Structure 1
């Protein structure tokens, strides 16, 4: 599934992010691409979002540890820019999203909201602009993995839900903490969470705002992996490397079909038709070559190496 609704957004970013609608005014920080060849610039500590490119993977980090990586408007814009750049780059196969300093993301920066003198202006049409947290309205065409440490709550939980997979540290805490302050979920939380863990469990979290730990999140299906504290990023990177090593046309076709059947397919029959039509071309482009490798002895016994 291509980056739905956002094919025409990238050329307009420079203008859009200076508009009153998005409330962003720092042109240079929004338009700069922070990818490096192999390492993050250690002098970039003042940047709200930093990225590191490793081969066909990009690691995107929210870099506001002093506020538990709470997202303000600048950060939202940078996150959107980085994930759009990832999705449109043919050299990149998978992305990892994490937060620096021990927390994934504590949601939208409520101090910024409390001190907002003018009414917060947001794009009302979800097909035309970013969400308050930035990339939350995207439908990426390639896998995104969230490495969750510390708090992933409120809007931070919604960012984690944007990912295909969530690698969660043992002491991490997730939850709809914004329930206590009258801040609604408008970055996909009420859409993605029920699809992911079922309506009953989603309503438990949405209505109570209670914290949920790593093991309960794993039992719910909210977490895909639970790892010791301090190891989420490394585990997510290793998982990304594995996913990125597979034949990508097949992987993306299967991923797209799964997402379509969950969100967009009006019937079982149309979901099956979508799967077939998008899978058949892959037989010629990748499956025949893969079958040849298998017959020569590669991958026997379920080996992935």
Structure 2
């Protein structure tokens, strides 16, 4: 399947529609690998796992499409309140499959931006309405690091490594790395990583604001699940309204005044739906003294 044709014919909304190129069907089927991305539903949490451990979960075209579909399923599932994004086999993601880049460079150049929501790494161009937590172990480098930036929060294991390792091979960041990273940690720190390609460990990532939590080796997925469940336990419309306003102010708003206006108009509708009920609970004694006990998830 042509890389360009596959991306081009993957629909922006609803069900994906894949149209075959003029290549032989036998050539396409030999490259199709099922199960490159695994999904699982645990109560209100949707798990998405990259499943190419034999190549450190690097993403090829098929994996990118399956990742996009998985995130699309999460977005459209009203009962899924948060997602946990991880890699199977001890590595989050080692980036894009460079063996495929070597053979598909001309097709990538032909692909104009805006033809589809599918990025080279899959879901990197998506703007989701619900929280995503990335559980990072092993390496999350190059395009793999860009995928972690899609998440709202990143839980890193103490020996995990991030970095723009593709700097060594002349492969650019085209999955949001130069857009999200400076907004997340500031331009100076982002350029430190983007220009040098150097590895950044969990503790420094925490200091930079790139990681939100650092946990022991082997605990990232469990910690990310606990965090996702905690978020899912809160009143959802209010949480999503605040999240939406934060993203608008960071990426879309032209001014401080416009950000404040959006925050007010975006949030005021929640008052009747959730705030009155919440205030009533507070008057009845729930949450006094800053306690979150009433909102602890039932695991």
CA distance in 2, matches of 1:291, 1:25: 58
Normalising by the residue count of structure 1, what TM-score does the alignment of the two structures yield? 0.87
Aligned to 2:14: 11
What is the Cα-based RMSD across aligned positions, in Å?
1.9
**Equivalences for 1:276-295 in 2 at 5 Å?**
276-295=264-283
CA distance in 2, matches of 1:205, 1:152: 13
- The answer to whether structure 1 residue 249 and structure 2 residue 237 are counterparts is yes
* Structure 1 residue 122 displacement after superposition: 6.1
**Equivalences for 1:37-52 in 2 at 5 Å?**
47-52=35-40
Aligned to 1:213: 201
- The answer to whether structure 1 residue 102 and structure 2 residue 90 are counterparts is yes
Aligned to 1:224: 212
Aligned to 2:6: none
267 and 25 in structure 1: CA distance in 2 versus 1, 3 angstrom threshold: farther
Normalising by the residue count of structure 2, what TM-score does the alignment of the two structures yield? 0.88
SS at structure 1 position matched to 2:17: helix
Q: 8 Å contact 2:117–2:123 — kept in the other structure?
A: no
- The answer to whether structure 1 residue 150 and structure 2 residue 138 are counterparts is yes
CA distance in 1, matches of 2:77, 2:17: 18
SS at structure 1 position matched to 2:262: helix
* Structure 1 residue 129 displacement after superposition: 3.0
117 and 250 in structure 1: CA distance in 2 versus 1, 3 angstrom threshold: closer
Aligned to 2:45: 57
* Structure 1 residue 14 displacement after superposition: 2.0
CA distance in 1, matches of 2:127, 2:202: 26
15 and 119 in structure 1: CA distance in 2 versus 1, 3 angstrom threshold: closer
| 1:250-271 deviation line (CA, Å, top 9, x unaligned) | 0000000000000000000000
Q: Name the stretch that deviates more: 258-267 or 123-132.
A: 123-132
**Equivalences for 1:128-207 in 2 at 5 Å?**
128-207=116-195
Residue from 72, 75, 78 that aligns with 2:66: 78
For structure 2, list consecutive stretches of 5 or more residues without a partner in the other structure: 1-10, 294-299
Following TM superposition, the consecutive aligned residue runs of length 4 or more in structure 1 with deviations greater than 6 angstroms are: none
- What is the aligned residue count? 277
294 and 74 in structure 1: CA distance in 2 versus 1, 3 angstrom threshold: same
CA distance in 1, matches of 2:109, 2:13: 20
